[in-house]
Amino acid sequence: MKKKRGYEVQKKLFFALVVIVLLLSILNIAKAKGLLIPKQGPVDVKHKVVDLQKLTLDQKVAQMVVVVGTKENYWPWRNMQLGGIHLFARQTEHIFNNTIIDFQFQTPIPFFVTADLEGCVSPFGFIRQFTPASEVDTIEEAFEKGVEEGQFLHKLGFNLNFAPVVDLKDDIWKCRSFPGDETKISELAQAYLTGLQTQEVLGTAKHYPGKTLIVKDPHKYVVAAEIGKKDVYPYAYLVEKGEVKAIMVSHIITSGEVDSEGVPSVVSKKVLDDLRAHFDGLIVSDEIHMLGLKKFYRSVDEVYIAVFKAGNDVVLNFDKDPNEIYRMIQIVKGAVERGEIPEAQIDASVTRILEVKGFTVR
């Protein structure tokens, strides 16, 4: 009798545990797919006018984030109303195009759709080869390269390219920088940008303030470089010409002409403020999962706050886990609510982003 009762208890426990395991499995799957992330409220856009006051802080911070555009994260990225998606390689133009159409479908504020098409460095190598920057010698060739790459990107649906590289020296890749001295590189970059932007694809001069493509000490994760006047000349030139709409900032600790005061440039308020003093376009952070940046802080949460606090308008976080991206937004939101990051600074960045996307902000 006692044995039979014990068996009945085990049987009931078994069914209870099966139900619990099933429920927990469903919750885990839903979480992994980002389905537990709350959906943002609707954005009130009328006649291409956005009222900034009607955007929540979550929506504003989300607009500043560019993530990797994968089909798996289609819903979480859309629900979070992120600012942009960056696409890695795909097999065909058709797949690129379909992915972008899907993401942009009925979005009140379209995504930035970004790529790293520099010429030799390209996610399209499987589909088509482009002229490397190192083989471009004349203004005409640079302009043609810009037009050709712009046409290709525009046709697929991209609207922001993380090129051209205006580093003066490329000791590693040997193909990413334009040839010549700082004057020639600046002129070629300008021509490239003009060509690219005639095709409605914005260009990004990178990697401010320079010296990112040189061989580094293999035992250091945190890299330092002395920046000279020549290194920043291309940026000053392109800003003065009004051709560059976005500048990407690197993780290098710099001294000399641009002094990051002992921290990586991308989190240096001084570097970004000095750049902002002359440049009213988008300041884009380099991807934030680099040891050069991460090793500098005790936790990734500190990285998140530092990169926004410094004044980057667009932050590249290619973590494919939607929960982590949501967590980053909440951490930055918390820092804004605590007054650690001024909300006016977030507003200014979002205004720049929306204006570049073609909206009027009021």
Partner 1 sequence: MLSERALFIINVSLGLFSVLLVLMLLAIKFPTLGQAQYALDKEEPVCVIQWGDEATPFTDVDRCCLQARQQFECRAQSKDNLDWVCGADEGLQIWLNNKAYNYCKQQPYW
Site for partner 1 in 32-71 (CB under 8 A): 68
Q: Least distance from C-beta 18 to partner 1, angstroms?
A: 7
Q: Least distance from C-beta 89 to partner 1, angstroms?
A: 4
24: contact with partner 1 by CB under 8 A: yes
Q: Residue 5 or 46: which CB sits closer to partner 1?
A: 5
Identify the three-state secondary structure at position 105: coil
Tell me the window of 56-64, 194-202, 213-221, 332-340 that interacts with partner 1 (CB under 8 A): 213-221
209: contact with partner 1 by CB under 8 A: no
d(CA 155, CA 138): 26
Q: Least distance from C-beta 23 to partner 1, angstroms?
A: 9
d(CA 186, CA 135): 15
Q: Least distance from C-beta 29 to partner 1, angstroms?
A: 10
28: contact with partner 1 by CB under 8 A: yes
Q: Is residue 98 within 8 Å of residue 87, measured between CB atoms?
A: no
Binding pattern to partner 1, positions 75-94, x when CB under 8 A? Answer: -------------xxxx---
Identify the three-state secondary structure at position 161: strand
Say if residue 166 is exposed, middle or buried (CB neighbours under 10 Å; 0-12, 13-18, 19+).
Answer: buried
Which residues are CB-neighbours of 310 under 8 A, at least 6 positions away? 266, 267, 268, 269, 271, 272
331: contact with partner 1 by CB under 8 A: no
Q: Residue 13 or 101: which CB sits closer to partner 1?
A: 13
Q: Which helix (H) or strand (E) holds 11?
A: helix 2-32
Identify the three-state secondary structure at position 254: strand
Site for partner 1 in 224-283 (CB under 8 A): none
Question: Any idea which residue has 């994260």 for tokens?
Answer: 73
Return the closest-CA partner of residue 278 out of 331, 219, 232.
232
Which parts of this chain interact with partner 1 (CB under 8 A)? 3, 6-7, 10-11, 13-14, 17-18, 20-21, 24-25, 27-28, 31, 68, 88-91, 116, 120-123, 125-126, 129, 132, 171-175, 215-218, 223, 287, 289-292, 318-321, 323-324
